[in-house]
Each structure stands twice: as C-alpha cells, then as structure tokens.
Chain A
C-alpha cells in the first residue's frame, strides 16, 4: 500500500516546493538580520530589500517581515524583532540586542539628529533621572561632533517640537541636554555637576 501522505504530497507538488523555498528564504533572512545585529547595527527595511537575492522577491520579503511586524513570525524568524523609526522600519535579532539599543540604532539610522537628541534626553531625564551630556552624543554609538551638537542645541531652541529641550553647563564648562518636562533647570544643573565634576573629583 502506498503511503497516503506521500501521495498527497506529490499531488500537491507545487505548494510544497514553494513552502520549502519560503522556509529557506526565511532562514536566509534571519541570518542576514542576525549578522547585521551582531555588528551592533539594526537592519533597515530598505537595506534588507537590497540584500534580497535570488529566491527572495519583494513579495516574499514583505510576507516574511509582516509576520515579524505582527508579532507572529514564522519559526525561522522567531528571534527577529522590529523597531519603527521615523524614516524606516528596522529589524534586529532580539537574542543579541535589547529593544532599547535597537531603538538607539533606529534613531541613528533615521539620521534625524534633533529627534535623536530629544528622545534620548527625555528618556534619561524621566528614567534615571539625569540630563544627557553632550559627551554622550559625541561618543559611541552616536558620534556627533561637538560643533554639530552646539548647532543642534541652537536649532532646537527655535522649534516648538523641542521646546522642552534645554542645555545646562557644569562648572568645568561641559554641557548637557535636559528636558523641562521631567527636570527643572536648577535640578538638571545640579545633577549634571554631580556627573561631570563631583563624582569624578570624589571617586
């Protein structure tokens, strides 16, 4: 007696192969996202489209990623997660990157400096609480120049969207952003003095 399952498979033929191809594409996509994440970066959707080689057309990519977007990924993409930026959607492997770092990388990929500064500053002021030193944005992973930061601070003063973002200075001349939604200017200055001067003098 023939195996009934075998018979059905051979009858269905085409869909099985397609399913197999889909799984391979999903595994490849997962690897692309993982490798990108392993370099401490997120994978922008635009970039992923360019990576899609033979066997992964736009429609397939969209179908696979929509599973991730909806929180119902296929088995191969279970580790993938997404973060929505202003300019794109970004994917990463959640097993080797936190949502918070992915968020930071999304901000960096969006290349909207003012939005980046504002979002990070607001989070720091609300959560820790503390202002966000210019040196934080000058260092890894942001790497803005001090001139760029000075310019950003000036531009933010002129924008309603960033009306809450201000700058405080420590006694050594260092500067930090703060959000008046979460910290008074005096408190922000005092906390920044502690970060920048006092905690370093009294280690």
Chain B
C-alpha cells in the first residue's frame, strides 16, 4: 500500500494482548490527528476521565510521515486533556524519529488501552510486539530510561518515555523521545496512570510511495525554491549578499562569521546559505544564539532536529559548567524549550562572563525538566509558580514544614539549584507544590478563594481562554486572526500558519499582497495596528487551522509549513500552497486537489468540535469555551483599541469575530456544528449522537 501502511496496532495493557487491524476506514481523515481523533471518538465514551483505565492514547501518523518530505517526522498523539476544563479531547505532537519508526514498524497508528498494575514498556519491533516488565526503569529519568532501553533493545531503538512527572500523574507532564522531543498536553500522566514507562520502536520496513521520482523532485523543489528557515522565515536575520530584505525577528540566523563555536575539532562557520542551495540550508537556523543571545555561540556544538527535517531548529549546546551541578552538560531544544524554567530565578550568578549565568540557568532547567518529563504548557507552569511566589501565596498554600524546607533566598541570590528544589517537588504528588502543575483551570478552581478572578485573567498567565489554555499563538500575531486560531482547540492552539506569515521577515505590503490574493482585502492588518473584524480575516483564520490540522494529520511540521511565502525574488516571494496536495498525490497515487485535501483535514476539526460539545454537555461554546481572559482587553490602557501600538482585543469585536469564524465552519451562533455541517463531512453518526444527547 502506498503512503499508509493500512494497519493499526492495538496494545491492551490490562491483558497485555496485542493485535493488528485495518486502518483503511480512517483514510478519509488523512491520518495523524484526524485518524486518532476519530479512533478516540469511536472507542472512548463521553464521561470517561483521562486517568480511567477506559481512557486511551492513540498515536498516529499519516501517508506523508517518513516519506522523506522535508519536516515529515511528526507524530500526533490524541487523548483526553488532563489539564483543561472538561478534560475534553486534545492532541499533542512529537518529533524525533517516532513517525519514521512507527511507519517502519508497519503501522499508521498505535492504540494504547487498558492499564497495567505494574510498570511496563511496549516493545515494537516490526510485527513482534510485546509488553515487557519495566520495574527496573520506574523512577529513572527519561535520559536514563532511553539509555537503558537502547542498551537492552538495540542502540538505534526509538524510545518514548516518561519521567517522575508522568509516573506521579502530574497533569502537566509529557513524553520525551531522543533529546528533548516532547509530546505534551499531559499525556505523560496518562502513561503514568497506565503504568506505561516507555514505548520502544525499531522497524525494518518503510513508507511505500506511488511515484518516488515525483517525491524526490518535490523535495528538491521545496528545499530549493520554497523553504526558508524555522517558521519558514524567508529572509535572513542580517543583511546578506543574496537578499533584498532582512529581519531581526527572523530565525534564519546563520551568517558569515557566526559559528558552531563548540563543534568538535573547532568552529564551523554557518556562512551564507542562499535560496537554491539545499545542501547548505541546515546552516540557516541558529536557534541557540537566537534564543539565548550571542553568548551561546561559543557553546553551540551544532543544530539538530527531527528525522527528515532540513531546517534543524534544535540548538545543541555544551556547557562544561553544568558538571558541577551533577548533570549532563549538553542539551538541545528550541523556543520555549530552551528556557522553560530559568525565569523562576530573580537573579543569576555569572560563571566566567556576563550573561553566562542566565544561559546556564536556562539550559540547566531544560535538562532537569526533560529528565523529569515535566511539561511547561508553553510557559504556563513557570508563570503560575512565579505568580504564587511573587504574590506571597506560597506561604499560604504550602504546609509550614514544606515552606520551611525550601531555601527561598536562592531565588534572589542566583543559586540555580533553586530550580531543582522547586521542580522536583512539583513532580512529587505528596507535596503541595504539585497542585500548581494541575493546569491553570484547576489551579484557579482549587485556590479561587485565595487568588480570586485575577490569576486566570492575568497578563502574567497569558491564556487564550479561561478553559486553562495558553495563548500560543493569539492576538500578538494578526490580532483577531491569531486569536481565532485557538478556538478549535482544548489546549494552546499551536497554530503556526499565521505567525509564520507575520514573522516571515518580508515587508508588510508584500505579506499583505500575497495573502490578500487568496483571502480577500483586509485579511492582514499592519503589525501592532489592526482594524475591526471582517470576513476576510475569518477566512484567513480558518485556513490557518485547517492547514495546521492537515499538517498534524498528514503529517508535516506546522512550525515550518505551509509554504505561503518563498525566499525567491523571482517568485515575487510567493510560496506554493498546493505542495501538500502534490505530495499526497505523489505518495498515495490518488490525485487529490488542494481543496479536497483541506476538506479531509477539516473533517477532523469538525469531529473534535463536536466531541467538545458532547464532553461539555452544552452547545454554548461561545460562553463556555471561547472565552478570552480580561488581560486581552486591557493591555496598553493608554492606547485606544484599533490604533497604532496595541493588539488588545475589543469585546464586541471579539464576539463578531467568533460569529464570522463560526459561520466559516458551518457552526451556529453558539459555536457548535450543525447537522448539515456534520453530514457534509460524512459525520452523520456524530450528528445522531449529539441529537441523542440533546445537543443538536
């Protein structure tokens, strides 16, 4: 079979039985997110809670995963949210080798069900699938677990594991694979509830493609003519000889004179990597320097990333000074993962030069969190811990002996072992600090008498919704457009389609001209100067999430795709939004248009929204789900809304934005899918189900 493997692997942890079934009935959902969401709908009844044995985790890939297409190394995990209101369906995404290996083992999806009484790991070697004892692994860090399992099962084994956070069922926990590749959303705690320590994958098979030559040609086209750097930033960060434009926001950071300063054998210059040079494009993104500043140059060993990705967005650093803290001295990650908890400190003690204390704290905290398998929820956990520390709530919520045993002065004095003192207790279910890692919605519920309405609505927390979901991304990119992309999610939206456009580095007028051609006049406002809602923006926002769903289903990395823009002047900087469908056609052999593929991706969104309605037991998504916190309306108090210098939201305009967005999706004024819409997407059974529950 081309693209898909056509097989689902089911592992029951209660009975330790495994089985293989056909995956063909889910092809209409593309794969990945769509497929996994449908399986969860079919198999986990509403009312089941995430830590119940009836709860399941579905890991799925799509026809593109492992095909060699650039950025096709992503896997989607679908499960019940541990940390947001209603524990409704969410998906999380993991990179590394997982997608390629799940495909190589011969499966489109792995369904994990039931629960074990004792620690176990799932061992998948092609069609040999076993559930093995993991008693000796329980309590180990994710790094130790990976080393132990690679030693036992083979050094090339792909290991996904949980740490203490997952074992102790801390809501904000993740699954880690390779170095720092993470599936968040609380899935680590679900693994923990099932006593599932790890999954091992090693496959000898592959991804069959219908037209290999066409796939190779597409790879060359995409890497030569369409791709820029991370987030598809299509202009370099600094002026360079090949470029007309540059942008200080661009992650195309490599340039002559900037090196991998700690590369074995001496510095490697990142140089110029002009468009049309696929064999140099891995030097464009220099994320350690971008995230930590120039001080990180001399500590940078190289850039790494997921299988098949030529962007390499993980800045690999080596900090010898970490040795004295008894930790690994090397780490690699990107974006917030490069500094998840360094910000818990009020001061940093420098080691050898100004600024190396902060850098060390950042990397130290990243290593620690990954070893614990603790998920940062896009900075929410750090923000919550700081909120409780800064407002004097710690003394009020901790037991006196708990409060006394922590040396709070380290926070001010710059002793970074403070971060370990806090995070290890956060992962200890018996310690009150762990209650702050429940997710903001549940923290607010537990401590509402103490913290009132301020916490959940605060700019410090920066949620997109009071369901406890972080803004990632929101009104800071394209105002209403960015904020709307969150609506279809029960966690942080993670939609990068829009922010990749606004952050591309191209001048505003070029960005606008290219996107207006597709979505209509007025779809993209000036940065930090936006206008009231219009239908073009609703279309643009819908495109953003539909493509994201497509990428999470196909699979492709939405942190780079789609190719809205190009670094090529000859193309007028216009990308090609039909490439996904070209890949789909070349890989599966089923000629499929852009519109047809988008429609299949939207099916998964419609289903997830219907599942949220069912879980919430109300159609009133507008008032129960799509509620943005107060801070979003009140930033820059001196600057009037719809003028230069603010992206703060306006209450009536947000309601109008929701109405227009709902209309684009065929939802009613409550924001719930109608029967007509569900049937359009062949979801008649879902409509019937909602009707039977009095929700249609």
Contacts and interface: CB of A to CB of B under 8 A. Distances in A.
A104 interface: yes
B664 interface: no
B416 to A, nearest CB: 20
Question: Which of B336, B529, B644 is most buried by chain A, counting CB atoms within 10 A of its CB?
Answer: B644
B221 interface: no
A97 interface: yes
A184 B240 CA distance: 29
A201 B644 CA distance: 21
Interface in A110-169: 127-130, 133, 135-136, 139-141
B639 A186 contact: yes
Contacts, number: 89
Contact of B240 (A40, A99, A129, A135): A40
A101 B243 contact: yes
Interface stretch (B155-163, B173-181, B244-252): B244-252
Interface SS of chain A: helix, strand, loop or mixed? Answer: helix
Contact of B248 (A101, A136, A186, A198): A136
Question: Which of B241, B335, B508, B645 is most buried by chain A, counting CB atoms within 10 A of its CB?
Answer: B241
B239 to A, nearest CB: 5
Given A40-B256, A136-B248, A187 B528 contact: yes
Contact of B238 (A37, A140, A194): A140
A136 B471 contact: no
Nearest to A37: B241
B351 interface: no
B212 interface: no
Contacts of A189: 645
Interface in A4-39: 37
Interface residues of A, number: 34
Given A140-B256, A194-B476, A97 B248 contact: no
B476 A101 contact: no
Contacts of B639: 186, 190
Contacts of B255: 139-140
Given A128-B508, A140-B258, A194 B528 contact: yes
A200 B231 CA distance: 13
A4 to B, nearest CB: 47
Nearest to A100: B244
A141 B242 contact: no
A200 B476 CA distance: 12
A96 interface: yes
Given A187-B529, A187-B644, A191-B527, A101 B241 contact: yes
A202 B247 CA distance: 17
A104 B239 contact: yes
Contacts of A127: 507
Contacts of A104: 239
Question: Which of B248, B291, B528 is most buried by chain A, counting CB atoms within 10 A of its CB?
Answer: B248
A99 to B, nearest CB: 8
B476 A100 contact: no
Interface in B189-246: 238-246
Interface of A: 37, 40, 96-101, 104, 127-130, 133, 135-136, 139-141, 184, 186-187, 189-191, 194-196, 198-203
Interface of B: 238-249, 255-258, 272, 291, 335-336, 379, 462, 471-473, 476, 503, 507-508, 526-529, 569, 636, 639, 644-646
Given A129-B526, A189-B645, 17 more contacts: A98-B241, A98-B244, A100-B243, A101-B243, A104-B239, A129-B507, A129-B527, A130-B248, A139-B255, A141-B256, A184-B644, A187-B645, A190-B528, A190-B645, A195-B248, A196-B248, A198-B476
